[in-house]
Amino acid sequence: MFSLLVLNGPNLNLLGTRQPEIYGTTTLAEIEADCVARGERLGARVTCLQSNHEGTLIDAIHAARGTHDGIVLNAGAYTHTSVALMDAIASVGLPVVELHLSNIHAREPFRHRSYVAPVALGQICGFGPRGYGLALEALVAHLEARPA
């Protein structure tokens, strides 16, 4: 059974009330419960973690090596700023699916740049909370296709 980490970054704890016109009204707790349920259907154990702190996210990525097979990462605004997060992902060598609720490419120019993208397996954005399920599916398909 695959073990997957769903890691959410800054301000995503406020989902449900945070700029609902952009991010919708689904809460992070609801998204996380859906991720666990989707994981069960996919045959994967899903653990969820959220932090507003860059270093905590980096620690979680380091700790995932040896405990998880892959990560779904919504790094929030750190996506657009954090070389340290990019280095952490590159350092652990785990497959990471980059996830955003909104379509970052259709928003302000500063959101078009992602430091996660160059070290990610791929990116899913613009599908709201449904994107998490899509990301988990993509990650499991990738892991299943991996040579033993």
Give yes or no for residue 76 binding ligand DQA (CB under 6 A).
yes
Within 104-123, the residues that bind ligand DQA by CB under 6 A are 104, 111
Give yes or no for residue 100 binding ligand DQA (CB under 6 A).
yes
Give yes or no for residue 11 binding ligand DQA (CB under 6 A).
yes
Tokens of 61: 């990525």
The residue (of 77 and 143) whose beta carbon lies closer to ligand DQA is 77
In contact, 121 and 97? CB cutoff 8 Å: yes
Taking the alpha carbons of 76, 80, 84, 86 in that order, is the dihedral positive or negative?
positive
In contact, 99 and 32? CB cutoff 8 Å: no
How many amino acids of this chain bind ligand DQA (CB under 6 A)?
Answer: 10
Among 7, 72, 101, 139, binds ligand DQA (CB under 6 A): 101
In contact, 14 and 56? CB cutoff 8 Å: no
CB of 111 to ligand DQA, least distance (A): 4
Radius of gyration for the chain, computed over Cα atoms and rounded to the nearest angstrom:
14
Report the residue count for the chain. Answer: 148
Catalytic (active site) residue 100: yes
Which parts of this chain interact with ligand DQA (CB under 6 A)?
11, 74, 76-77, 79, 100-102, 104, 111
Which residues are part of the catalytic machinery? 23, 100
